[in-house]
A and B are shown apart, each in its own frame.
Chain A
Amino acid sequence: MFEGITNSLGDALGGLRGGRLTEGNIREGMSKVRQALLEADVNYDIATEFTDRITEQATGDKVLKSLKPEEQIVGIVYQELVQLMGPVDHEITLRRGEVTVLMMCGLQGSGKTTTCGKLAKMLRDEGAKPMLVAADLQRPAAIEQLKVIGQQIDVPVYSEDPASSSPLQVCVNGRKAANQQGRDILILDTAGRLHIDDELMRELEQIDNKLMPHQVLLVCDAMTGQDAVKSAKAFNEALEIDGVILTKLDGDTRGGAALSVKGVTGVPIKYIGVGEQLDRLERFHPERMAQRILGQGDLATLMETAARALDSEEMELQQQKMMEGKFTLDDFLKAMQQMKKMGPMKSLMKMIPGMGQIAGAMDEMGDEMDPDKDVRRVEAMIQSMTLDERQNPERIDRSRRNRIAQGSGTDPADINDLLKQFKGMSGMMQKMAGMSVKDRMREIQKVGSEAMDPAGPMRREKQRSKRGPADKNSVRDKRKQERQRAKQARKKNKRRK
């Protein structure tokens, strides 16, 4: 998402970095940015206003005559982006003795039913007691779908026979049932409808008037084009929506809707759906999104994901083991499985400052460069080892290695690589275990900066080339020459005596 915008912003700002900043090249850069925004489906007026505002601020004397004008411009873009998308209030207030009602609405196929499930799961995980109401009596099997989802996330679903009920009636009875069962949040899954279908819009207004939902949330497909703001506007006029949930952001949509909705309707995006699984719903933070668009990563979200997905006790235990130098392959496997819970590696990488471009490049290379595939392979290798081998990797001899390779469908050389890497890693850990906290941090930083530096591997390659190619024959020849030289030197010395 946003790669197109990020790249064009990068190009435009990068171009500015090159030569002297003038009003002319800022305008040129910004017109490129506008083009990219339009290609990303940002609303035409929003795109034009956005770039105009930045140009106006950036071409002022205050910026052009400052010490580092390009940094100032990045700052301006950041602020404008945040302003374009924010502010957002994610709070859902629970009142004691009262059921908080959330109504979901949207066009057909925007992902309402799935999002209902995701939201219910998120609220349930945070300690609330949600209940779902199947108010979509129109689409065949929509009730069934919600019931299945409710079962998966262990949240009750209220439904009625569509033949003898109406959406309004289901919602009213749903609230009664929620009161009786002591649930505190009620999520209404309404049928998808076109914003120009007056009859169905009236039906929504009726539910809105009767139940007085605390929040009305519009579910919107992130791939929608210029029409996105039009439907959002129409829904807002009919229902006064409180927030937008943007779905299907895991595709390669360029996210234009995300940038347009707030500007046109004044309603902020509250949540984003980033995957088909029911736990792939995130809160939307304009500041973080702006950082991501500017290619600066999003460590805050990464930390949150880690805190949610990782088992803190397990992590502490592992750390303890590392410090004592008792970290085994088994612990390594567990650590990897914990990491996997946080989501695909590539999406994690995109959140680390500076790594976004690398992840993007990996995307382009397709299957060949898939870090998740590597993780799976390493997992398979460790799982093909016996428990004893995992504890004592030095026992793995040639025949064991061949067996492990066969068992995991890999090459014996891969097993060797893994063991070597692991040895290096545990060596480093042991070294660190003996260090003071300060030294340890320094060491981590050193390793980190080497890994982060895109030129890192190239530099290492160069060092090796100084010593000449390290192949067997040349090494042998070199030694031979040295031996001969030594022999001659000895002879010389003898004669002198």
Chain B
Amino acid sequence: MGLFDKLKSALTKTKDVLRTDVRDLLKAGEILDEQNLEKFHRGLITTDMGVAAAGEIVDELKEKFGGRTVQPDEIWDIVKNKLKEILRGEGDCRWDITDPLSPLQMADEGLSVILVCGVNGAGKTTSIAKLASFLQKSGKTVLLAAGDTFRAAAVEQLTLWAGRLGCEIVTGEHEADPASVAYQGVDRALEAGADVAIIDTAGRLQTHQNLMQELGKIHRVIGNRLEGAPHETLLVLDATTGQNGLSQASKFSDAAGCTGIVLAKLDGTAKGGVVVAIRQQMGIPVKYVGVGEQLDDLELFSPDEFVDALFAET
């Protein structure tokens, strides 16, 4: 199954929801009045893209087509283009299908460090395992650092993954300072000459200031050991998350300077539309999407395909 197909099948449910709504209401030859627009607004809100982005699209439609007879295809093009435009941003991120590592910022030479953070239960550890397997397939040697020293058995979980992947892992004691584990991880990766070190962190809610400061410290300590590191700070976002995703993106960015998002659990019925709002308001791009529980269920994000698969004909 090709990349496009896989993404499409993962998004079929999402699309079904959107399409059934829209098919019901935007019939060719109907007049686009307030009532129809309201229904359309509802359809967009259901994708979690947020009141602001949905309002903007509806306003644009109203301006261009308000009171006129509906040409569904034309309207779809407008909606799609608008979403693609928002997601693509201003050329600050590249998604090259031939090079699956293209969105990642890597060191010019030597070790690259990736810090992974997110709220509890977003899917950090699983995403790390997938990302490591992804990097290994591209011929990189990977080292993991189990920085989640808080949650019961989190270290064991990552250690099990490391065993399956056959990569080295650095662990600390339970309730050890996570920053020290991160430091040791980078240290060991430099010594072993690994290409990429991925640092796991404990899940934390963005409102717990002391935990956010701890994350800031981890970020700083990594930078102290290796200049310019971490090269990439990925926020793992649960696709089922609603508008709280905005708060997560902004507060995690304040603490650790997020450079990208991994959108996990996109294989459910959730639409993950909040990434549109995040991209629009904070400019943080989605880099990868998680579409299943298996190791190879991580895909390169592509704004065009994301939007196309969202609305594609079956």
Contacts and interface: CB of A to CB of B under 8 A. Distances in A.
Interface of A: 35, 38-41, 44-45, 107-111, 138-142, 144-149, 152, 194-196, 221, 223-228, 230-231, 248, 250-254, 256-257, 276, 366-367
Interface stretch (B44-52, B81-89, B109-117): B44-52
B42 A144 contact: no
A140 B271 contact: no
Interface in B207-256: 207-209, 238, 240-245, 247
A141 B155 CA distance: 9
A141 B154 contact: yes
Interface of B: 13, 42, 45-48, 50-51, 119-123, 151-154, 156-157, 160-161, 205-209, 238, 240-245, 247, 265, 267-271, 273-274, 293
14 contacts: A39-B50, A44-B46, A107-B265, A110-B121, A141-B153, A141-B154, A144-B153, A144-B157, A223-B238, A223-B242, A227-B48, A228-B242, A231-B240, A256-B242
A196 B268 contact: yes
B160 A141 contact: yes
Contacts of B152: 144-146, 148-149, 152
A35 B55 CA distance: 11
A223 B48 contact: no
A298 to B, nearest CB: 19
Helix, strand, loop or mixed for chain B's interface?
A: loop
Given A109-B265, A248-B120, A252-B244, A225 B274 contact: yes
A109 B238 contact: yes
B276 to A, nearest CB: 12
A144 B156 CA distance: 8
Given A109-B121, A141-B160, A226-B47, A40 B247 contact: no
B161 A107 contact: no
B119 A248 contact: yes
Contact of B240 (A145, A224, A366): A224
Shortest 8 CB-CB contacts between residues of A and residues of B: A225-B242, A109-B121, A41-B242, A148-B152, A144-B153, A145-B153, A141-B157, A227-B270
B222 to A, nearest CB: 24
A252 to B, nearest CB: 5
Given A196-B13, A224-B242, A225-B243, 15 more contacts: A41-B242, A41-B243, A138-B293, A140-B156, A144-B152, A144-B153, A145-B152, A194-B265, A223-B245, A227-B240, A227-B268, A227-B271, A231-B240, A250-B207, A252-B244
Contacts of A254: 243-244
A336 to B, nearest CB: 20
A148 B206 CA distance: 25
Contacts of B206: 251-252
A44 B268 contact: no
A4 to B, nearest CB: 9
Contact of B244 (A45, A138, A140, A253): A253
Contacts of A111: 120-121
Contacts of A257: 242
| B47, B120, B242, B274: most-surrounded residue (chain A CB, <10 A) | B242
A109 B120 contact: yes
Contacts of B161: 140
Given A144-B153, A221-B121, A250-B205, A107 B244 contact: no
Nearest to A151: B152
A96 to B, nearest CB: 34
A109 B120 CA distance: 7
A140 B205 contact: no
Contacts of B209: 366-367
A231 B45 contact: no
